């Protein structure tokens, strides 16, 4: 999940709506908002409330946007959704900065605006105690929030973002109950994005091992062998090898990509450090573990990335694409500012407008 940013922004550009005389297209950073004609001018400041923000009812009423939000029965907050207005995508809405907050400030906490949480709608099996080495996957940030955090003069890796449920599985070093610390043995682990499941009762999350258990085991053995090869006088102690992927298909989400449940891998981490994508593709190809659809390494602009997030799925032509995930060729980190103590992994998502505005969509864990 990406961070919720309800920021004070500067209007970068206002231009006519191509299909409506009374509407205009407002550009704010990497976002586009459709607004009434004459509401904003370039250089003006406002508050941007993005899709999937949950806005308190009193605030929504004060801003006059309650009728445009999605409400559940007796809900205290309404969900902001992306929409298409006369065929133009609109990502959230703009509100007046009446309190005069400084430019760039995130007002989510101050305004009690929270992130929409995906419901749990899947048989995930029995929960298990979380192993300390079974780490969660990266929170992928929305590139529209941070369009300047990629270096577009360097080649980028693009993969299709599949609409399913996040899966992590692999092997972690077993605790030594007799002597303390960790043993020389590894145990198999399976989990959702947030929780670890019992390997003997893990529901749909056991699919990667069910379909590709032998291949995953061989890939693990090779990774361990490579990592344990001495470099000078040093040898890496491997405590975890985690395979991250997406489980999808009928009964998982509304976009099925076919007639049977399936799995595609998108990352491998050793001791919490992510392996280079070219190595991931190589070792998965060697042992027959399918990876998410990806494009050739190339140079892209921000505008091209937004365009590539639209259209049909590479995996299942004729079905809309959820979006793309983009990262640099070499692993990098970035910060929100000079004082940010927690650098983030440089990996971003761009979600397609057709996906965000589709009817009858499901978004379970």
pLDDT tens for residues 289-327?
999 999 989 999 999 999 999 999 999 999 999 999 999
Q: How confident is the model at residue 236 (pLDDT cuts 50, 70, 90)?
A: low
Instruction: Judge if 271 and 177 occupy the same domain.
Output: yes
pLDDT bin (cut points 50, 70, 90) of residue 338 is: confident
- Total domains present in the chain: 2
In this predicted structure, the answer to whether residue 231 has a pLDDT above a threshold of 50 is no
Instruction: Tell me: do 49 and 151 sit in the same domain.
Output: no
Among 15-24, 107-116, 207-216, 228-237, the least confident range: 228-237
What's the pLDDT score for residue 232?
45
Phi, psi (deg, nearest 5) at residue 207:
-60, -40
- The C-alpha atoms of residue 14 and residue 40 are separated, in whole angstroms, by 7
At 228 the pLDDT is 64
Once rounded to an integer, what is the mean pLDDT over residues 189-213?
A: 94
- Domain range holding 244? 127-356
Residue 200 lies in a domain: yes
Judged against a pLDDT cut of 80, whether residue 275 lies above it is answered with yes
The reply to whether 208 falls in a domain is yes
User: C-alpha distances in angstroms, 12 versus 20, 85, 108?
Assistant: 21, 20, 22
Place of tokens 């299942």: 316
Q: Examine the fold and report which residue of 115, 143, 161 is the final residue of a domain before the chain moves on.
A: 115
Instruction: Identify whether residues 173 and 100 lie together within a single domain.
Output: no
In sequence order, the 6+-apart residues with CB closer than 8 A to the CB of 177 are none
The answer on 166 and 189 residing in a single domain is yes
The pLDDT score that the predictor gives to residue 125 is 78
Q: What pTM was computed for the model?
A: 0.91
- Return the pLDDT at 364: 66
- What is the share, in percent, of the chain residues with pLDDT greater than 70? 95
Residue at which a domain ends, from 115, 145, 171: 115
Q: Is residue 102 part of a domain?
A: yes
Is 186 part of any domain?
Answer: yes
Tokens representing residue 282 in the block: 């190589």
* Token pair belonging to 211: 């379909």
Residue 363 lies in a domain: no
Neighbours of 342 (CB within 10 A): 7
- Residue 149 scores a pLDDT above 90: yes
How far apart are alpha carbons 198 and 190 in whole angstroms?
A: 7
């Amino acid at each position: 999940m990406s961070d919720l940013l309800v920021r004070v922004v500067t209007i970068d550009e206002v231009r006519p709506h191509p299909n409506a005389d009374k509407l205009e297209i407002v550009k704010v950073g990497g976002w586009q908002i459709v607004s009434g004609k004459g509401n904003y001018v370039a250089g003006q400041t406002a508050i941007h409330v993005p899709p999937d923000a949950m806005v308190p009812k009193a605030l929504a009423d004060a801003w006059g946007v309650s009728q445009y939000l999605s409400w559940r029965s007796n809900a205290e907050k309404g969900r902001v959704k992306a929409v298409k207005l006369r065929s133009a995508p609109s990502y959230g809405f703009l509100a007046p900065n009446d309190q005069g907050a400084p430019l760039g400030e995130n007002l989510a906490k101050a305004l009690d605006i929270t992130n929409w949480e995906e419901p749990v709608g899947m048989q995930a099996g029995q929960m298990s105690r979380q192993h300390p080495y079974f780490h969660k996957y990266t929170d992928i940030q929305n590139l529209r929030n941070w369009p300047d955090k990629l270096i577009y003069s360097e080649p980028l890796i693009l993969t299709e973002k599949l609409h399913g449920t996040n899966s992590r599985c692999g092997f972690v070093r077993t605790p030594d109950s007799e002597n303390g610390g960790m043993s020389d043995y590894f145990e198999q682990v399976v989990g959702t994005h947030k929780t670890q499941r019992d390997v003997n009762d893990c529901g749909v999350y056991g699919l990667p091992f069910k379909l590709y258990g032998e291949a995953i085991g061989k890939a693990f053995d090779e990774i361990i062998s490579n990592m344990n090869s001495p470099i000078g006088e040093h040898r890496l102690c491997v405590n975890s090898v985690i395979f991250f992927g997406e489980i999808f298909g009928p009964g998982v989400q509304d976009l099925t990509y076919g007639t049977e449940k399936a799995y595609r891998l998108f990352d491998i981490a050793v001791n919490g450090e992510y392996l280079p994508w070219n190595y991931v593709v190589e070792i998965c190809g060697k042992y027959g573990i399918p990876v998410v659809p990806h494009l050739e390494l190339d140079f892209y602009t921000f505008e091209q990335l937004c365009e590539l997030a639209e259209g049909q799925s590479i995996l299942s032509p004729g079905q809309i694409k959820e979006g793309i995930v983009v990262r640099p060729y070499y692993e990098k980190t970035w910060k929100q500012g000079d004082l940010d103590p927690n650098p983030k992994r440089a990996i971003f998502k761009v979600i397609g407008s057709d996906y965000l505005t589709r009817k009858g969509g499901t978004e379970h864990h």
